[in-house]
Structure 1
C-alpha cells in the first residue's frame, strides 16, 4: 500500500488527465489542482475551462487558476497548502524558485520526451518532425532551468511508422500515468535518487508556429508526410489549390489532414506540386505524397474520393505551396 501523500496537481490540457486520475486511484490526497485561467475559445468565443479544471471540479477538488505565479500572494497561498509534492504535467506557467521549494519533496514534472532530447514546449511534434524512432515519458525533479532537472524515472516508447501527434500524445500521457505513482512512492521512501541529465544529446523543442504548417512541395515526400502527422489538425498543414471548374475563382487554402509518402511512379513528371493521378498523388522534391484526407475552407474533413467529387484536381494540375 502506497503511503498517502498530500499533493497539488499542476496541469492544463488533456495530457495530464491520466496522471491525475492515477494519483487519485493510488489514494493520494489531491488538495488542489492548478490550471491556466479559463479562456475564450471556439467559433462562439465562449469562455471555457481547461480540461484539468473541469475534471477537478467534477470531483470536488479545489481549483486555482492564477494568471502567473510571480506574485508573492500566489506563492504564499501555494506554500500554505503544506504539500508533500507537486506533480506538474503541461501546466504552461513558469514555476518561480519559491514555488519549486515549497513542497517537502519538490515539484515533479511529467515530460513528454526522453530527456535531454526535446526540452521545451513541443516535444511530441518535434520528435515526429525529426523522424525520431523513439520517445517516451520522463519524470523529472524540477529546477529553475528549462527541463534541466535531474531524472527520477522514464518509460520508453517506439514511434512506429505513420504515428501522428495525437497518437503519440495519448501513448506518452498513458505511460506517464503508469510511471508517476511508482516513481513518486520510491522517491518519497528514499529508494531512488535523482540522476543528472547527460550533457550530450540536448535538443530544444521550440513552440510550433502556424507558419510551419505551410507545405513546400520541393521538400522530400517523407518530410512532408511527417509534417502532416506532426502538425495536424492544429495548427494544420496546407497548400493552395485551384478548382479547375472555377479557374476564375482563384486559389484556396486546402488543409492536408492525412497523407502517405510513396515512390514517384515510373515516367511521372518530377515537377514538384504536380498532381500525378486520381489518388490524388502529388510529386515532391523527391518521391510523391498520396493525399488521403483533405479539408477546404469552411468544409468538413473528407477522404480523398468524396473531396475530389466537389473539388476538381485533374491530373497534370499544380498545387501551390502553403
Structure 2
C-alpha cells in the first residue's frame, strides 16, 4: 500500500520501521520541524526524521498543515492512506479525505479511554491496571473516530510512562501493521467507539508539580506517570527540584506533608522514600547523595505553596 507516515518522537519509530518491513511503500514522512534541544540549544531533527533519512525516505517538516503548499504536496504524493503516530500537528478537515483510506492513527490507550495528548501518563496516574493501543480512522473530533483494532498491555506497579510507552510502541507497531494489511486486502472493519470517554489533555508544567498534601499512593503514581517527561517537580526554599520515582513507606506516619527526614518525605498519609532528584541546573543524582551535600536543617520541608 502507498503510505504517507506522520510521526515525530522515538515512540513512533517502531511503527515506521514495521510498515517498511511489511512491504508497504512509504512515499514520504511528515514530522515536526527540527527543534533546539540540550544545553547547547542546537537544532535537532526528530527521531522519526532521523529514521526516515536512514531509510532513504523523503521528509517533510511543515510548521503547519493548514497552508496550500503542504496540501498540494500531499495530494501530489497520492497516498492511499496516512499512518499517524504521535505526530503533534493538527490535521485540517480538508486533508482527511485526500487519501482513499483516510488518516489512520495509532493511539496509546483503549479508546474511548484517555483521548488526548497524554494517555499513558493519565492511565498510570489514575492507577489503571490495564491499558493498550488502538488504531482508528481520524475524523474531526479529538480521537473520536471508529476503531479498527486494539491490543492490551498490563501496567506494572513500577512502570514509569517511559517504560510503558516503550512496550506500547512495539506492540502498537504490530497492531498498526496488521491494520494496514487488512486495509490493503479490503478486510478492515472500523467500529464506533463504545462506552464513556475519559480525557488526557497536555500536562502543563504547573500540573506536574507535586502536592505533598495528597496521599502517598497518589503522589507515587503522579511521579511515575511523569517520568521521564515532562517530569514531576517540587520546590525547596523556592528552588525547583525534579523528582524521579519514589517508594512508599507505610510504617512512617510522623512526617508532615513535604517534611524531610534523611531520604524520607511526608505526605497526606504515610512517607515516601526519594529515589533520584535533579536540583535546578544539575544532573540527576541519588537523593541520599544530594541530601548529604545540601546539609538541610532538621524539620526542613519541600514548599507547599504554588510556584510563582
Q: How far has the Cα of 1:35 moved from its partner? A: 0.5
Q: Describe the superposition over 1:186-231 as per-residue Cα deviations: whole angstroms up to 9, x where unpaired.
A: 1222223110001x32011110100112222111011111111111
Q: Distance in 1 between matches of 2:238 and 2:63?
A: 41
Change (3 A) 1:311 1:202: same
Contact 2:255 2:265 in 1 (8 A): no
2:244 counterpart SS class: strand
Q: Name 1:160's counterpart in structure 2.
A: 156
2:266 is equivalent to residue 283 of structure 1? yes
Kept in 1, the 8 Å contact 2:160–2:228? The answer is no
- 1:119 partner SS: coil
Secondary structure in 1 matching 2:99: coil
User: What is aligned with 1:193?
Assistant: 189
Tell me the alpha carbon deviations over residues 226-249 of structure 1, each in whole angstroms, 9 at most, x when there is no partner.
1111113333222233xxxxxxxx
CA offset at residue 71 of structure 1? 1.7
Indicate yes or no: 2:69 matched with 1:93: no
Counterparts of residues 131-280 of structure 1 (less than 5 Å): 131-198=127-194, 200-241=195-236, 251-265=238-252, 268-276=253-261, 278=262, 280=263
How far off its partner does 1:259 sit?
0.7
Contact 1:105 1:188 in 2 (8 A): no
How far the C-alpha of 1:21 sits from its partner, in A, is 0.3
User: 2: distance between equivalents of 1:27 and 1:168?
Assistant: 28
Question: Larger Cα Rg: Structure 1 or Structure 2?
Answer: 1
Closer/same/farther in 2, CA of residues 129 and 110 from structure 1, 3 Å limit: same
The alpha-carbon distance between structure 1 residues 251 and 82, as it changes in their structure 2 partners (threshold 3 A), is closer
1:298: which partner in 2? Answer: 281
1:73-113 per-position Cα deviation (integer Å, ceiling 9, x unaligned): 32122011121211000111122233211112111100011
Unaligned runs of 5+ in 2: none
TM-score, normalization: structure 1?
A: 0.90
Maintained 8 Å contact 2:255/2:271 = no
Q: Match for residue 244 of structure 1?
A: none
Find the aligned partners of 2:139 and 2:12 in 1 and give their Cα distance: 20
Instruction: Answer whether contact 2:162 2:228 (CA < 8 A) is retained.
Output: no
Conserved in 2, the CA contact under 8 Å of 1:258 and 1:294? no
**Partners of 2:69 and 2:275 in 1: how far apart?**
53
Query: Could you tell me which of 72, 77, 99 is aligned with 1:76?
Result: 72
Q: How many residues are aligned here?
A: 305
Q: Which runs of 5 or more residues in structure 1 are unaligned?
A: 242-249
Moved more, 44-53 or 114-123: 44-53
